[in-house]
Structure 1
Amino acid sequence: MLFKNVIGQTDVKLHLVNMVQQNRISHALLFLGKEGSGALPMAIAFAQYIVCEKVNRKGATESVGLSLFGEETPPPPGEAGRGPSAMFDSCGECPSCLKMHQLMHPDVHFSYPVIPRKSGDKPLSSDYISEWREFIAKYPYGNSYDWLQFIGAENKQGNITAYECNDIIRKLSLKSFESGFKILVMWMPEYLGNEGNKLLKLIEEPPPNTLFVLVAENESLILQTILSRTQLIKIPALNYQDISEALVTKAKVGEDSARQTALIAEGNYREALQLMQHADEDWQSLLREWLNAILKNGPIAQVKWIDEVSKLGREKQKQFIRYFTHLLEQAIRLHAMGPNNVHLPDKDKDFAGRLNKIANFMQQQAIIEELDKASYYIERNANPKMLFHALTIKLYHILASKEVTTVI
């Protein structure tokens, strides 16, 4: 993967290139970015940049100072005085780049959460390498849920096991085959339990020209012993212009639809793609029915609505909650900044204005917090009927503290 194929993140790309060109890379890097920011594509593009033969003139052992970690290496005959290549992206054409394009480079290893295929198995990431290559080709901005469903996990919990850690130690103890470097890209180290301590010595004192690249979404779930040994590379949320442009060029979405979707996605390209898949869903009618059941129509209407929404499936339920959260956030902005400074379709702007009539700022904040909790529990297979029943009761009590004069 080339840097140019990674959406946006111009400053991060330039920072990574400068780190390589100036030989200032730590032996262990942590690419930290929320879902949909592109941390995994960035890490893969970075690994390709390091092993690209044109960038590094056929490997660190033949180039000037390109050990990447600050150590001096002697220049080859006739090369004295030449600095490292000033290329700002991998070439995409050399044998190393062609292998990286297929995720088949022998010196770049991947580790990620996996499940046993059958009871008693001790699964390794390499057991799922074919599925991994297909997943990255189709869903480079996918999250761990997407990956685990892709390999048929259903309700099983993925893990990076002690058995996997032993395999990593074995792989990185071998000499590099082609590039002069050995690189491990570990995606979602949050799935690494205490068995990850097996890797501490290897991370702290790795063999020469060995690089760990951890790719994570939640820093607080990573073992502190590993976290303290990494150099942090923050991957910020994408801006809405980059998402909008990517939807037009990559997903072939119309400009108006792409712009509206990018605003709702709030920096998450995966979310934007999910929203486009459900673009025909009438979330506003579903939300209006729910609020009317809470505020006006009573328990029978609420039970009917809960039965309806519980049949939608987990992804659609998350999208619906995301839509409601977005409207509440826009309602707050509408109240604070005025209608001329909030860019929304007229239909959604009118609905956001109605939300301001039935709930004040504090109530809207409380509802957003409950919706965030509900989304979290949906991801963890909560019973949808119980979840939405509890959520309906909570919203009723939040809204009941204000006299409602207008029904949505």
Structure 2
Amino acid sequence: MLPNIFHPHPYLRFMLFADIIGQQPTKRHLLEMVEQNRLSHALLFLGKEGSGALPLALAFAAYISLLPNSTTGGGREEVSLFGEAENVKPAFPKTPEAADAFMQKQPGFSKARNYIHPDIHFSYPVIPKKSGDKPVSTDYAEEWREFIGQMPYGNVYDWLQFIGAENKQGNITAEECNDIIRKLSLKSFESGHKVLIMWMPEYLGKEGNKLLKLIEEPPANTLFILVAENEDLILPTILSRCQLVKINAPDTSDIAGALVKRGNIEMVAAQQTAAISQGNYREALQLLQNASEDWQSLLREWLNAILKNGPAAQVKWIEEISKLGREKQKQFLLYFMHLLQQSIRLCFAGDNPPVSIADSEKDFAERLNKFAPVNHQQAIIEELNKAIYYIERNANAKMLFHALTIKLYHLIRNNALILTP
């Protein structure tokens, strides 16, 4: 289970629009789709890790489930959200703040806020609890509620570690698809609308074709919300049936503000952390968690091994980094990328250095500029990005950092400068 820094306020539940960091245009867009009867039966919330796509889906699902399915006006008539013809034009909240106020007044809000509303269903990658099992999401319902209560900005790696998957691959199974079909064929219990949030449909194999008819012709007042990071890994047959809602990365200022408010840290530290995280709130929390790590000393040791101390020092350093674990390896590479980006900014800033750069980082960034021109630094950033990609996919750390060491050597050897403390 991951440390509490992912969840600074233990009883916070991400079911209000105010809980989501930034994303104001997207929040308003979702409310407008409801108000203007332009809501599709299937939405794809597409956003990179740490963007807040899942928390936004949680809040929107709560909002939909708490809307009335009818109004009274001389007679009881159904209210449609999906563009069908209807006689009633209800007055929907027009702003995220109004939507939050509306939700908190509804009888079912406490259930939605605690992830136990009977008309909000969840689907996500799972593993067998024992050999021969055919797992479905509801097998892990209690763990899921705890996970999204603690780590709504977490990624699939966090989730699989949370349920003890270790190196096992999570999947959304054929049995899960059958269970979804069964659940959504039932009448709603309390709400006028049923919502299914499927998190990480990238883990849905060809079995997902079982859901095509349901997604294309769903039961009345049923909404699918697929929350994904990479549309290239989603079945094209499912992708073509969804209305895309692009979730952009939060602004650096929004992440910094959230870190100050929720993590109780100073604004300067929050701004630096937000800058390194590059719009990924999960990474920002990880950076805070690993704030005691001396990444700069580790980086200096690596560069000196590459440029000065030779193969024996390189092998020793690779052994050291490979013991840190995948998350810390990612944080280290992200920090190196951050320093390179600061170095490039300094190169073009002249007498006006970036105000957000710390003195220790400024000194290191200036040294980087002395041994690698901008085009070489950009090439190094590309290599670091590739390395992070492979780390996320469980690449062998020793092999990866050995290859990266060789690449860096060839990129910078002609402009070598030893980085002394």
With structure 2 as the length reference, what TM-score do the two structures score?
A: 0.91
Give the deviation of 1:390 after TM superposition: 1.7
Partner of residue 9, structure 1:
23
Q: Deviations over 1:306-356 (max 9, x none)?
A: 121111111111100110111112212221233624231111111111111
Partner of residue 233, structure 2:
221
How does 1:63-142 map onto structure 2 within 5 Å? 66-75=79-88, 83-84=91-92, 86=94, 87-89=98-100, 90-142=102-154
Identity of aligned residues (%): 67
Contact 1:64 1:84 in 2 (8 A): no
Give the deviation of 1:92 after TM superposition: 2.1
How does 1:17-96 map onto structure 2 within 5 Å? 17-52=31-66, 56=67, 58-60=68-70, 66-75=79-88, 83-84=91-92, 86=94, 87-89=98-100, 90-96=102-108
1:161 corresponds, among 162, 173, 176, to: 173
Asked if residue 190 in structure 1 is aligned to residue 190 in structure 2, the reply is no
Give the deviation of 1:405 after TM superposition: 4.5
Q: Deviations over 1:236-269 (max 9, x none)?
A: 1010111111011111112221111111111111
Report the CA distance shift for 1:293/1:406 in structure 2 as closer, same or farther (over 3 A). closer
Residue identity in the other structure for 1:374: A
Q: Secondary structure at the match of 2:108?
A: helix
Give the deviation of 1:65 after TM superposition: 6.7
Asked if residue 361 in structure 1 is aligned to residue 374 in structure 2, the reply is yes
Partner of residue 11, structure 2:
none
Unpaired runs of 5+ residues, structure 2, are 1-14
Unpaired runs of 5+ residues, structure 1, are 76-80
Contact 2:370 2:415 in 1 (8 A): no
How does 1:265-280 map onto structure 2 within 5 Å? 265-280=277-292
Moved more, 91-100 or 243-252: 91-100
Contact 2:65 2:195 in 1 (8 A): no
Contact 1:91 1:97 in 2 (8 A): yes
Moved more, 209-218 or 387-396: 387-396
Contact 1:64 1:82 in 2 (8 A): no
1:398 corresponds, among 390, 411, 415, to: 411
Q: Secondary structure at the match of 2:334?
A: helix
Report the CA distance shift for 1:207/1:61 in structure 2 as closer, same or farther (over 3 A). farther
Q: Secondary structure at the match of 1:212?
A: strand
Residue identity in the other structure for 2:16: L
Report the CA distance shift for 1:160/1:294 in structure 2 as closer, same or farther (over 3 A). same
* Distance (whole Å) between structure 1 residues aligned to residue 278 and residue 41 of structure 2: 33
Partner of residue 394, structure 2:
381
Give the deviation of 1:182 after TM superposition: 1.1
1:299 corresponds, among 290, 300, 311, to: 311
Residue identity in the other structure for 1:59: N
Report the CA distance shift for 1:85/1:349 in structure 2 as closer, same or farther (over 3 A). closer
Report the CA distance shift for 1:360/1:188 in structure 2 as closer, same or farther (over 3 A). same
Q: Secondary structure at the match of 2:191?
A: coil
Report the CA distance shift for 1:82/1:362 in structure 2 as closer, same or farther (over 3 A). closer
* Distance (whole Å) between structure 2 residues aligned to residue 38 and residue 328 of structure 1: 27
Superposed CA RMSD in Å reads 1.7
Contact 1:27 1:69 in 2 (8 A): yes
1:334 corresponds, among 322, 343, 346, to: 346
How does 1:209-358 map onto structure 2 within 5 Å? 209-338=221-350, 340-342=352-354, 343-358=356-371
Report the CA distance shift for 1:82/1:339 in structure 2 as closer, same or farther (over 3 A). same
Moved more, 139-148 or 62-71: 62-71
Residue identity in the other structure for 2:373: N
Contact 2:372 2:415 in 1 (8 A): no
Moved more, 272-281 or 348-357: 348-357
Report the CA distance shift for 1:398/1:160 in structure 2 as closer, same or farther (over 3 A). same
Q: Secondary structure at the match of 2:407?
A: helix
* Distance (whole Å) between structure 2 residues aligned to residue 95 and residue 310 of structure 1: 52
Contact 2:200 2:227 in 1 (8 A): yes
Report the CA distance shift for 1:148/1:352 in structure 2 as closer, same or farther (over 3 A). same
Report the CA distance shift for 1:264/1:65 in structure 2 as closer, same or farther (over 3 A). farther
Report the CA distance shift for 1:82/1:188 in structure 2 as closer, same or farther (over 3 A). closer
